[in-house]
Amino acid sequence: MRLIIQRVTKAKVTSDGAVTGQINRGFLVLIGIGPNDTKQTADLLSKKLCNLRIFEDENEKMNLSIKDINGKLLIVSQFTLYADCKKGNRPSFANAASPDIAEELYEYFMEKCKQEGVHVEKRKIRCSYGSRITKRWTSYYFARTINICY
């Protein structure tokens, strides 16, 4: 399971010009699910996400979780997080879970976040910011010492 977590003051998702989900302060989370992911994986990451302390307290220290600030989650299914570009220039998505497995774990992950006490907006979209492709590159793919994140 791969998560891209963006701390936001506002986020919204549109589809065909209509707003299908929006939050104020919280996390915009892109979630990709792999074929070996399980409910145990979702349990671990949902708990970690809901308790991640990256919101500032009164002393401007990142000490508060999304629960502490009554924030919300906008969770977007994003199979392209499993794109593999090691060979050639066209990404392969063979490392992503099949749609039926991914759907089940996506729903389970959101339910676990709700059980942690966090309001969740779910959206199955391709993307609202111009493209449906999100690629996470790390240096070990290219034998370099830098991280590149898109």
Residue 78 is among the residues annotated as catalytic for this protein? yes
| 2 touches 34 (CB < 8 A) | yes
| 29 touches 76 (CB < 8 A) | yes
Q: Which residue(s) pair with 77 in the sheet?
A: 31
Tell me the mean pLDDT in the region 54-61.
Answer: 92
| 110 touches 122 (CB < 8 A) | yes
Q: Which CATH class is domain 2-149?
A: alpha beta
Q: Which of 76, 78, 79 is nearest to 93 (CA)?
A: 79
Instruction: State the chain's mean pLDDT as an integer.
Output: 79
Catalytic residue from among 9, 14, 20, 79: 79
pLDDT per position as a tens digit, 88-113 = 788 888 888 998 999 999 999 999 99
Residue 40 is among the residues annotated as catalytic for this protein? no
- Tokens coding 98: 């099949």
CA 120 vs. chain centroid, Å, equals 12
Catalytic residue from among 27, 55, 78, 134: 78
Above pLDDT 70, what percent of the chain? 81
Catalytic residue from among 27, 80, 109, 134: 80
SS3 104: helix
